[in-house]
Structure 1
Amino acid sequence: MTYSLIQLAPGAYDLLLKGEIVGSVVRSGARRSDTCWTAELIEDLPESKRPAPFAEIEHSFGTLQELCEWLGTTEVKSNFGLSPVARSS
C-alpha cells in the first residue's frame, strides 16, 4: 500500500492511499505531553474491505513517526499556509 500525508494545518493531515483521500490523521493533547496521533478511515468499511494495515476504523500512536512507520510511509507534504492557487499547481 502506498500512503502519503498532506498537512492541512498543524496537527491535521489528509491520509491518501494511491493518491486518493481515504482518511485523516490528527494530533490531540498537549504538544509536549499526552500527545496522541490518530489515523482514521473516512468510511466505516467492514474489516475485510479496510486497506492494510487498518484492522479497526481508527488507530492511535504516541508520535507521528510511529504512525508513519505503521503506515509504511515517510511521505509528508504540506498545504498549510499555501493559497488555493498554489495548492492546485
Structure 2
Amino acid sequence: MTYSLIQLAPGAYDLLLNGEVVGSVVRNSSYQPYTWTAELLEDVPPARRPTPFAELEHVFASLEDLCAWLGDPPIKTNNRHGDAWER
C-alpha cells in the first residue's frame, strides 16, 4: 500500500492510498507544541482498515512522526508563490 499527502492549506492534508482519498491529516492547534492527527474518512471495521490504522484516528507529536508511521509518503505541498513541490 502506498500513501501520499496533498496539502490543502497550512496544517491540512488529504491522505491518499494508491491515489484515492481515504482520510485526512490535520494539525490540531494553532500554537506550539502542535499535535497531528491521521484520520480515516470511513468508519470501517478494524479488519477492513488499511495498515497501519488500528483505530480510526491516530495522534502524533509531529508531522514527521506521522509520516514515518505511514511509511514516509511523498508530500505535495503548496508554497506562498503558488508553485507546488513534492517531498
Relative to the length of structure 2, the TM-score reads 0.86
Partner residue in 2 for 1:66: 65
Q: Could you report, residue by residue, the CA deviation over 1:41-89 in whole angstroms, capped at 9, with x for unpaired residues? A: 000000000000000000000000000000002410025765xxxxxxx
| Structure having greater relative contact order (Cα 8 Å, sep ≥ 6) | 1
Alignment-mate amino acid for residue 69 of structure 2: W
CA contact (8 A) 1:12 1:26 kept: yes
> Alpha-carbon deviation of 1:30?
3.6
In 2, the alpha carbon distance for the partners of 1:62 and 1:30 equals: 14
Partner residue in 2 for 1:4: 4
Alignment-mate amino acid for residue 72 of structure 1: G
In 2, the alpha carbon distance for the partners of 1:59 and 1:15 equals: 13
State the percentage of identical aligned residues. Answer: 62
Alignment-mate amino acid for residue 63 of structure 1: S
Alignment-mate amino acid for residue 70 of structure 2: L
**Within 5 A, what are the aligned runs for 1:1-89?**
1-33=1-33, 35-79=34-78, 82=82
**Comparing both structures, which one devotes a greater share of its residues to helix?**
1
Q: Could you report, residue by residue, the CA deviation over 1:8-63 in whole angstroms, capped at 9, with x for unpaired residues? A: 00000000000000000000124422x11000000000000000000000000000
Alignment-mate amino acid for residue 15 of structure 2: L
Q: How many pairs are equivalent?
A: 82
Relative to the length of structure 1, the TM-score reads 0.84
